[in-house]
Structure 1
Amino acid sequence: MCTYCGCESIEVIGRFMAEHTEIVNAAGVLRRAVESGDRRAVEQASDGVADLLHPHTRAEEVGLFSVMRRQEEFTDHIDSLCAEHTSLDEQLAAVRSGRHDRLDEFIHDLRHHIDREDNGLFPASAIALDGPDWAEVDEITPPAP
């Protein structure tokens, strides 16, 4: 989590960063379930990650990403983050379906993705967006689950 620029003090960014922590913690539960070899525990833990991940990525894409996408210099970066959201969903579904060999890839990619947001896009948004932009982000971002 970024702690150097203060972007977490922006309400929606602070929310997304807190959700990142919850998702990483849920991924740890998933790792322990996979290590236990209990298929039902893996399914439940996978569902727990998905229940946090899906509303989170939707909120990012509908809110912050849609406003930032208007600035050409962020379009490619946001497109790549959205593609990572899709890839993470696919990896998680594979783990849930029994492809436990994909767990390390999922967790690695999840952490890398979060780092790109927490230490890249979020601080950039604090600089690039102004008051009316943030008001719009707040208005269009779906509420936390």
Structure 2
Amino acid sequence: MCSYCGCHDITVIGRLMDEHEAIQNAAGELRRTVVTGGPEDVAAGVAALAGLLDPHVEVEERGLFGELRDDPEFAPHIDRLCGEHVTLEAALDAVRGGDLTGLDALLRLLDAHIEREDNGVFPAAATALDGPSWDRITDRLNEPAAVQHHPDRVTEPRGAP
């Protein structure tokens, strides 16, 4: 987690960084559970990680990333991060389905992804966005339906049938 620029003090970024810490803790617990637990324990660990990751991704994509994507300088980086969200989701689904061969790759990607956000996009957003931008982010997060913004995804709310 970035500790040098003060971006954690911005409400949205602080929330996302705190969620990153919880996600990394759940990922570490899942890694330990795969070694020491049974299939039910692994399933519970995957569910715990997904339960943290899914709403976190939605907040990032709908809130902060939705605003940053409007800036041509940020758009390629945001697209990459959103693409990683799709990859992480697919890898987690494979583990959920019982294929543990990709667990190490999933956890490495998750760590690298969080590093790029915490030490790259979040500090950059803290300096690039102004008050009205943060207001728009807050407004997006308060919208009743969560629409996915990544071009490779459907435009239905997460969890929609």
Output the TM-score relative to the length of structure 2: 0.86
- TM-superposed CA distance for 1:102, in Å, is 0.9
For the 8 Å contact 1:7–1:123, the answer to whether it is kept is: yes
Whole-Å separation in 2 of the counterparts to 1:17 and 1:37: 29
Residues 35 and 142 (structure 1 numbering): CA distance in 2 closer, same or farther, change over 3 Å? farther
The CA deviation string for residues 49-90 of structure 1, in whole angstroms up to 9 with x for no partner, is 000000000110000001111110000100000000010011
Aligned partner of 1:118 in structure 2 is 118
User: Could you tell which deviates more after superposition, 89-98 or 55-64?
Assistant: 89-98
Mind listing any 5+ residue stretches in structure 2 that lack a counterpart? 144-161
CA distance in 2, matches of 1:81, 1:43: 26
Q: More helix per residue: 1 or 2? A: 1
> Any idea what SS the aligned residue of 1:73 has?
coil
List, as ranges, runs of 4+ consecutive aligned residues in structure 1 with deviation greater than 2 Å: none
Please list every run of 5 or more consecutive structure 1 residues that lacks an aligned counterpart in the other structure.
none
Offset, 1:94: 1.0
Shift of 1:37: 4.7
What letter matches 1:60 in structure 2? E
Aligned length: 143
RMSD: 1.2
TM-score if structure 1 supplies the norm length?
Answer: 0.95
1:142 Cα offset (Å): 5.3
Q: Between the two structures, name the one with larger relative contact order (CA 8 Å, sep ≥ 6).
A: 1
Alignment identity in percent?
A: 50
User: Contact (CA 8 Å) 1:63, 1:140: kept in 2 or not?
Assistant: yes
* CA-to-aligned-CA distance 1:98-123 (integer Å, 9 cap, x gap): 21121110110000000000000000
Quick one: structure 1 residues 142 and 117, their matched pair in 2 at CA, closer, same or farther if it must change by over 3 Å?
A: farther
